[in-house]
């Protein structure tokens, strides 16, 4: 890949892509891999097969060596945000604690969303889990002021602050309150302009929070299961460099089209990794 290219769109499996990238080149790695759902996902703009030989064991055997290969690509203050659901996240939490190190674990983020059908047999599954691990156990990038949320209109603290029992006065931050580790961010509305029709497309607002909080302008943000290209689009808008990769030709085509519609459209180098 040309060293001078600010951005890269790569067609290939994560193992092949990781071998093509230099060590310590990624500041923020967001991964939204297949979830081991055991079915084919298909929509107007693309499809991918999430069925695995040997079921969950086969899926975990696929994911673990890829995370092992990707770790050396993180910069000293870099981070991994691994996006999974109920099927595999607990297995990967235990494995990452053992292999990356429990002292590198930063957060278990719950992305709560609504919409879709409702189960009558169990409580409806309406959240994903994002595991945040830092490359270093003592230093990492975290911009809390970049992701503050407005106070609710009814908040008495927002209007006048509070006074402690000791008499100290605490006033609200002008930019709002820091989010906690449960994020209420809606799924993409069927009529939303950002919808591209790719299965499992994630909302831009979700990636905006991750990228704003865990990287600096000019940093390199990578998504090596890029799907619909949301990470690259948001990274571009937030002034980050980006690497987007996927094994699916549909994903590469959708990401290319989506990036080309940005104003102004970014430039990138394209390569196939085999």
At 115-128, the pLDDT tens digits run 778 888 999 999 99
* pLDDT on residue 2: 45
The whole-number pLDDT of residue 1 equals 52
CATH number given to 8-143+183-272 = 3.40.50.150
What's the pLDDT tens digit per position in 126-136? 999 999 999 99
- How many Å apart are CA 34 and CA 22, to the nearest integer? 25
Show the low-confidence residues of the chain (pLDDT under 70): 1-4
Pick from 98, 252, 251, 126: nearest CA to 184: 126
Predicted TM-score (pTM) of the model is 0.93
Per DSSP, the three-state class of 82 is strand
CA distances from 8 to 33, 130, 225 (A): 19, 24, 13
């Amino acid at each position: 890949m040309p060293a001078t290219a600010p951005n890269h769109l790569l067609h290939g499996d994560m193992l092949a892509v990781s071998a093509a990238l230099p060590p310590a080149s990624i500041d923020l790695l967001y991964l939204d891999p297949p979830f081991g759902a055991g079915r084919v996902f298909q929509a107007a703009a693309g499809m991918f097969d999430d069925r695995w030989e040997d079921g969950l064991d086969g899926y975990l055997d696929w994911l673990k060596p890829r995370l092992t290969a990707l770790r050396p690509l993180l910069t000293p203050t870099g981070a991994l945000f691994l996006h999974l659901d109920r099927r595999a996240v607990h297995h990967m939490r235990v494995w990452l604690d053992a292999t990356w190190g429990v002292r590198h674990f930063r957060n278990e983020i719950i992305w709560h969303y609504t919409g879709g059908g409702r189960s009558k047999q169990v409580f409806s599954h309406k959240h994903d889990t994002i595991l945040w691990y830092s490359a270093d156990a003592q230093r990492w990038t975290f911009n809390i002021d970049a992701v503050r949320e407005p106070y609710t209109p009814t908040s008495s603290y927002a209007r006048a602050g509070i006074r402690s029992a000791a008499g100290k006065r605490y006033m609200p931050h002008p930019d709002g309150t820091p989010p906690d580790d449960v994020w209420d961010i809606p799924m993409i509305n069927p009529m939303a302009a950002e919808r591209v029709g790719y299965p499992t497309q994630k909302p831009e607002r979700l990636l905006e929070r991750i990228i704003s909080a865990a990287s600096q302008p000019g940093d390199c943000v990578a998504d090596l299961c890029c799907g619909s290209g949301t990470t690259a689009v948001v990274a571009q808008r937030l002034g980050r460099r980006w690497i987007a990769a996927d094994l699916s030709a549909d994903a590469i085509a959708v990401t290319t089209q989506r990036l080309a519609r940005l104003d102004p459209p970014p430039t990138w180098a394209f390569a196939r990794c085999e």
